[in-house]
A = this chain, B = another copy of it.
Amino acid sequence: MKFLVVAGTTETATVDGISAAGADPTATYHTPAADLELLEYGDTVFTPSVPVSPSGCPTPAVITRSVRELAPFELLAVESGLATATATPTLTACQQPGGDIREPEPVPTAEESFERARQVGRQLPDDELFIGESIPGGTTTALGVLTALGEPFGVSSSLPENPVSLKQAVVATALDASEIRGGDLAGDPRNAIRLMGDPVLAAVLGVAVGATETGTSVTLAGGTQMIAAGALVRHFGVDHPLEIATTAFVAADETVEIQRAAESLDLDLTVTDPEFERGDHVAFERYCRGEAKEGVGMGGALAFAARAGISMQEIRAQVVETYEEVIGSDGP
């Protein structure tokens, strides 16, 4: 098994109130680069600090890293639109950050990023891939893509109160800017990304398409952004079996109806519950209140750990250890 994490940025994240992936909107530029460092080294190297939300919720990379400590897996970091340097070795699908989807063409590199990632997906020798993501603002671009494809699913949020109407307003402006209507880009996933998405979705689509072309099993490791990725793969015309693995936090989100979305897109859904309410620690507190929920492959990593026979209790203990090492025992 190889665990891919595709990391990038979109200026859409700087819309006030859209994302919790960083202490403030500009700090979110470092978040994906820092997430990759956490996964690779267990700490930040070039990036200034471990990403925490304004309320102190740690990045889901802390959980994915903790799983990796207990059940080592091979990581392949893919860069598609990072805005800052990372010390983690990355396969580069594209170097240009994504623009704000309220502009006419936020992802001019969509085709290039897709093609490179597709070649890589074909080339990977592994039988099985997990694909996760790290991109602040990514649920909004996911909603943009789903809307362009005409797939009527809601999206999750890293904030406890999902700013649904704000996201919908951003997507409505984005449709206007690109002079399209919802559903206009059904069957045209690359243009859906180019006009309404982000560079990470382009690379996720490319790797997933390339991998299925060579018979590799693909698990989309994430929540609603991976629903958008699944929709893109289906609109590309792939009918190969696909898995999606997410957390109980996403499954519990009523805005999302992930079961219905997975069923509609013929994605085989696995939900894993890390039972954070049983862990009495600041690392878990905000997750229990509905923050973060998913990201950086967390749901896939938990499913992988469960399959490897690691208990959720062991994972929680490791999360506490990782948290105290990288953030400190008193929180940020």
Contact = CB atoms under 8 A, between A and B. Distances in A.
A87 B46 contact: no
Interface string A33-70: 00000000100011000000000000000000000000
Interface in A158-211: none
Contacts of A317: none
Interface stretch (A12-20, A88-96, A222-230): A88-96
A76 interface: yes
A329 interface: no
Contacts of A264: none
Given A87-B91, A90-B92, A123-B87, A116 B46 contact: yes
A120 interface: yes
State the 7 A-B residue pairs at the shortest beta-carbon distance, nearest first: A89-B89, A89-B91, A45-B123, A41-B123, A87-B120, A89-B90, A45-B119
Nearest to A115: B46
Given A46-B116, A116-B46, A77 B92 contact: no
A238 interface: no
Interface in A72-125: 76-78, 85-92, 116, 119-120, 123
14 contacts: A41-B123, A45-B123, A46-B119, A76-B89, A85-B116, A86-B92, A87-B116, A87-B119, A87-B123, A88-B91, A89-B90, A89-B91, A90-B90, A90-B92
A158 B123 CA distance: 31
Please report whether the interface of chain A is mostly helix, strand, loop or mixed according to DSSP.
mixed
Interface residues of A, number: 18
Contacts of A116: 46, 85, 87
Interface of A: 41, 45-46, 76-78, 85-92, 116, 119-120, 123
Contacts of A46: 116, 119
Contacts of A86: 92
Nearest to A78: B89
A89 B74 CA distance: 13
A45 B45 CA distance: 29
Nearest to A82: B92
A88 B45 CA distance: 21
Contact of A120 (B45, B119, B120): B45
Contacts of A85: 92, 116
A88 B76 CA distance: 10
Nearest to A85: B92
A76 to B, nearest CB: 6
A87 B90 CA distance: 9
